[in-house]
Every structure is written in C-alpha cells, then in structure tokens.
Structure 1
Amino acid sequence: MSTASTSRTAWPVELQAPDIEPYRAGNTGVPFFWTFVAGQPGPHVMVTAVVHGNELCGALVLDRLLKAGLRPARGRLTLGFCNVSAYLAFDPAYPTLSRFVDEDFNRLWDKPKLNGSRSSVELARARAIQPLIDTVDLLLDIHSMQNPTEPLVLAGACQKGLDLARRVGCPATVVVDAGHAAGARMRDYGFFQDPGDPRASLLVECGQHWERGSEAVALETTLRFLLATGCVDRPAVAHWLGPEPGPQRVVQVTQPVTVRTGDFAFVEPFVGMETIPRAGTVIAHDGDAAVTTPYDDCILIMPSRRLAVGQTAVRLGRVVDG
C-alpha cells in the first residue's frame, strides 16, 4: 500500500465509499467493468473511476448510474472501477494511504511499461483493462485533488481534447497540459494523444478528495460528458442535471516543475490556482536552487504534497482564452 503519508489527513472525510462488490463480476471479461450497447450506432464512450483508490467521488457517481440502470441511447457505454485493490483498502481514518498499492496506476500508460516484464498490482490491472481502452472512442476519467482547489478538466495537449472539454462545458477551468515526467496517465494513452486520431479523452479533477461537493462536480461533469458525446439523451438525465454552466477559461500549461532533490519545499502552503503576479517570484526551493515563475500572472496548477524525486511538484500555466 502507498506510504505517501502515515498521518491523518488535514481535511475531513465527508464522503462514504460505496460498496462496489455488487459490480465485481462485470460483463466485459474485466472485473468491475460493465458495458451496455444501444440499438442505434454511436461511439464507444467510457467513464472510469478510482484510478487512485482514495478518490471517492467517481465511485459514487458510477454506483449511482449503475443502480439507476442508465443505458445509452446510441453506441456503447462502459462504466469501470479501475484500481480496485487500492480502493478496497480505503480507510477513512487514514485516507491518504490507499492512493495505490505498489505504484501509481496513472503513470503506467505507455507501451513500454504495459508491454514490459515488470510486475505490480497496478500494472497487472492496467494490462487487464488495456484491451477495453483500445476499443474506446471517448473517455472521461474521474479524479479528485489533495487540496481544496477549484475543479478542473484536463484536456491534454491536442485540440480535440480542448474541443471535447468545451462541448462538455464544465468545470469552468480547462487546463491544456502534456502530462507528467514520471509517466503517462490513462487519459494520455496512445491514440488519445495522437492529433491525427479522432479518439479523445478528458480527466476531471472534481475538488478535494473527500469534500462533499466533489461528488456533485463528478456527477454534473459525467452527465454533461454523456450528453456531449451523444451517448444519452437529455430526458434520461435531466432530473440529475444542475443549472447550465457558464463560460469556461482555458489555462495553458507551459512547463512542469519536477522534483530534482530530496530537499524540495514550497515557500508557502499553496493549494492550487494561485496567480503569481510577477515573473521571477520564488515559489519553492529544490535543494540550493530557487524555483521561480517564468512570466507575469503565472498560475500554479495542482501543487503536490507528494514531493519525491522525479515527481511533478506543480505545473505552471497562464490563461490563453476566456
């Protein structure tokens, strides 16, 4: 199990992890993955949860949709719980400890790792899920964050991801990003990051891991994703929908800050989306080196408390569209 922290969280656990045991059998050949096929043609749309075992909001949404018997109006809809071993180890008294079992499931999605000989709990699960991912046209991967930061949708580096995020319409901030130095996320897998391939993916960060509001963000984003993809018709989900979303802003990640020494520390307890007005402002120290903002109005995106060498400490970005 992850030993990223052995202390109790500073944030209260307001969500209760749903029992997903009823979904173990699946109907896809992959445990905990369910696929439903409509009579009308359309894309294969997938929504995934618990890529990290202590991120509960996605599990709550999939549990709700499965219990309600939601079915696609066209195409194929797959709902799946990913890192189940980590999720089943979740303990609300020590909620940081079940992010993963052996390694981060969301840094494994490149062909050399998936096709290699190395083994772990997460690699075994990713390899089992990969054949399903290979059939997907449009993916939404539901996540949450360490800190109480405003919700974000991560659209990747291709225009098709940004276009999909705009069709979904929420959350209000879209982040255009190229991923992490430590490894590829599931939303970055293969064809999703090929600008010449129409298949696209989004990753939504719904707020702090265990705050009650993250479930509402996850549900709203999922429903609007299903509508935007044409998978469902509005009457099927209208009773769950919130108000129509307002305008979005687009933040372009220009560079990640990757931890290089065992002595990395931020100068303030940043939680994310802070705008630093002046270029050259020191935001952290990495050993003897100062980490500074490269331009005015630099936005800090998802600063991490997991500051291990080779991991992303924070990503730096700026608004490129209103």
Structure 2
Amino acid sequence: MSTDTTPQPAFLRIHQFAGLKPGPRLLVSAAVHGNEVCGVAAIRRVIDALDSGALRLNCGTVSFIPIVNPLAHQLGRREGDRNLNRNLRPPVVPQDFEDRIATQLCRWLAEHEVLLDLHSFQGQGKPFAMLGPRDNRGELEPFAHARSEGLLAACVGTERIVEGWLSTYALGLQRRAARAGDGSRRTALQQDPHYGVGTTEYMRSRGGYGITLECGQHQDPDAPEFAYKAILRTLVLLGMADADVVEPRPATPPELLQLYEVVDREHEGDRFERAWASFDPVAKGQLIGTRFDGTPVLAPDDGRIVFPAAQGQPGAEWFYLARASSRQVG
C-alpha cells in the first residue's frame, strides 16, 4: 500500500459534552474523507464556543469527532488505505487502517441517536443533504425514523435534499459483481454487498438516524461557515441549544431529488464530455461522457448529474443521476 512508509496515527480524538439534563445523544463528525476539511474547522469553532460559554448546552449529550480518518487527513487526500465511508462495519480481523478506525467509530455511532456527518465534494456546486430511506421493513435498509430524519435534513439550510443512496448503490454493486476482479482487496471491497454502507447507513442499522451534509466544494471558503451553522441548527432542532444562537433556515423549501442510477468509471481513459458540476441538468439521450473505447455514455432520462468524479478511480463511481422526488420533509 502507498501508506506503508507513513507513520500511522495511534488514536481517534473525540470530544464530548454532557448536559446536566437528559436529552438526545448527538454525534457530529467530519473528515471521514481526509481532504474534506470544512467540518473540521466548524467543529473546532463549536467546541470553542461551548468551552467559553458563548454556546450553552441545555440538555443531552453531544460528541464531536473532528477528524474521523486521521491518516487520510494527514496525507491530505480522500483515503488512507481505502474509503472509510464504504463497507463500514466492525471488522472481524482488521486488515488496514480504516478497519481499525471502524472498530472504534462503529461503537460511537451505536452509542448515539442522531448523526450529523459533515462532508464536501470535488466538483463545483452548492451544499446539499443526503437523506435516508422512507420508513420500511425491507431487507436492504429497514427504517422507522424517516420523519425525524427529514426534519433534520430540512433544518440545516440546504437548497437541495437527495434521497435514494443505498438502493441506487445496490444496483451498481450488482453490475460490479458481474465483472471479473483483479484479486486485489480494493476490488473485493468494491464488489462486496456491504460496500454502500457508510456512517449514516450504519447509524440507521443500529436504530438511530442521521444525514450526510455536503457543505460545498472542498476549497469553498463559505463551506466552514455553512457547516458551523448546520451544527447550531441541529442543536436547536433537538432542543439542545437556544433558538437565538443561529438565524433560522431559509424560508424557501428545499428541492428534493431521488438518485436512480450510478455509473462507474471503468478505465482511466473514460472522460466526460465537459466539466460537470453536481446538479447540472441533463436531458434524455444527452452525451455525458465517452468510454476509453469510444462508446458514448448517454443520459437515460431527464434529470440531474450528481457527484461527477472526472478523476475517479477505475472500478469506482464516476457519476450518479437523479430526478425529482415526490417526498415531503420538514
């Protein structure tokens, strides 16, 4: 692995504030991907406010993990040995650094009721929230807290909310399973049925709920401020802080979209037709990109492109497609 000569961090730093009155158990995390740092600054700012008394915790317990993946953060990149936010579960026998982090992280997720996981993205675009499934008793992601999770997604202040992650990812996994692997651990993980499970999915599997909040492009100077306000709005929503600590969310209701397709990058020569940004509109039949062998990649329907990764690794996600959702939140 490329990190063999890099001294690996030996601990996970966690900050916890326990109110003197009972209340919700909230976990706020950042830098699950090491180069997504807006949440790191936001969490440190909230911790300073709690320490100084500028922010009062009225009830409950709030825990902060400002740097979930310290190895990737130390290296200034998305991953250490692998993507921590895929196939997240306590390992039977840890095989890499992310496995060792998962051993601790999964325990902390299970001990909390609500998760706010702060991220940023590669392409240009505005912040958005990722919402889990509607209440269901299915096998893929059974869930019973859709209303509470919808309120959380609606409170943080984004213009868009996106649902359908795990069900869409499952379709991609089925196609990956049909491809021959190269015998590497990375390929084995990418074809594992659990590979779509990250922090929020694991949280739901343990009886809690939470959202992934994409706070803006990695280097967007406004992203740390957005993340900071999102933390405060979450505390207010849960009754853990007074309403006057942050201005209310924008009055305009967010747009709701549903993911319905994921397309992998199959070769380093696969290229986009143009520089796409998340939520750029695409029309049915429009050319999105071209495969290494010249095969065109066309939009199967009208909608939006999400998470375009021009430099994505072969075998991993290249882009997602979304369309309007009928869901109501908030």
Q: Same fold (TM over 0.5)?
A: yes
State whether residues 25 and 62 of structure 2, in contact with CA within 8 Å, keep that contact through their aligned partners in structure 1. yes
Q: Note the 1:208-227 alignment, pairs <5 A.
A: 208-227=217-236
Q: Does 1:100 align with 2:105?
A: no
Give the Cα separation in 2 of the matches to 1:177 and 1:115.
26
Structure 2 partner of 1:150: 126
Shifted more, 214-223 versus 141-150: the winner is 214-223
Distance 1:219 1:286, change over 3 A: same
1:201 aligned to which of 210, 220, 230: 210
**Letter in structure 1 aligned against 2:73:** Y
Show CA shifts across 1:45-97 (max 9, x none): 1100111111121010111011112453222111112112222333xxxxxxx
- Number of matched pairs: 279
Show CA shifts across 1:4-57 (max 9, x none): xxxxxxxxxxxxxxxxxxxx99xxxx7311121112222211100111111121
2:71 aligned to which of 85, 102, 105: 85
The SS at the match of 1:101 is coil
Q: Structure 1 residue 101: deviation in Å?
A: 1.9
Show CA shifts across 1:115-144 (max 9, x none): 232421222112122211111111010011
Give the Cα separation in 2 of the matches to 1:169 and 1:54.
22
State whether residues 122 and 217 of structure 2, in contact with CA within 8 Å, keep that contact through their aligned partners in structure 1. yes
Structure 2 partner of 1:304: 309
The SS at the match of 2:274 is coil
Structure 2 partner of 1:317: 322
State whether residues 265 and 286 of structure 1, in contact with CA within 8 Å, keep that contact through their aligned partners in structure 2. yes
TM-score w.r.t. the length of structure 1 is: 0.78
TM-score w.r.t. the length of structure 2 is: 0.76
Distance 1:310 1:158, change over 3 A: farther
Give the Cα separation in 1 of the matches to 2:57 and 2:95.
36
State whether residues 169 and 245 of structure 1, in contact with CA within 8 Å, keep that contact through their aligned partners in structure 2. no
1:36 aligned to which of 17, 29, 32: 17
Show CA shifts across 1:259-292 (max 9, x none): 234432111111221111x312221223444322
1:115 aligned to which of 81, 91, 112: 91
Give the Cα separation in 2 of the matches to 1:52 and 1:272.
18
Give the Cα separation in 2 of the matches to 1:75 and 1:261.
49
Q: Structure 1 residue 162: deviation in Å?
A: 5.3
In percent, how many aligned pairs have the same letter? Answer: 24
Give the Cα separation in 2 of the matches to 1:62 and 1:266.
35
Give the Cα separation in 1 of the matches to 2:117 and 2:249.
22
Show CA shifts across 1:166-224 (max 9, x none): 442521100103244442221211x5158xx4x21101111111121111211122211
The SS at the match of 1:105 is coil
The SS at the match of 1:300 is strand
Give the Cα separation in 2 of the matches to 1:76 and 1:216.
23
The SS at the match of 2:62 is strand
Q: Note the 1:182-193 alignment, pairs <5 A.
A: 182=190, 183=195, 184-189=197-202, 191-192=203-204
**Letter in structure 2 aligned against 1:284:** G
Give the Cα separation in 1 of the matches to 2:301 and 2:149.
23
Structure 2 partner of 1:273: 279
- Structure 2 unaligned regions, length at least 5: 4-8, 136-145, 174-189
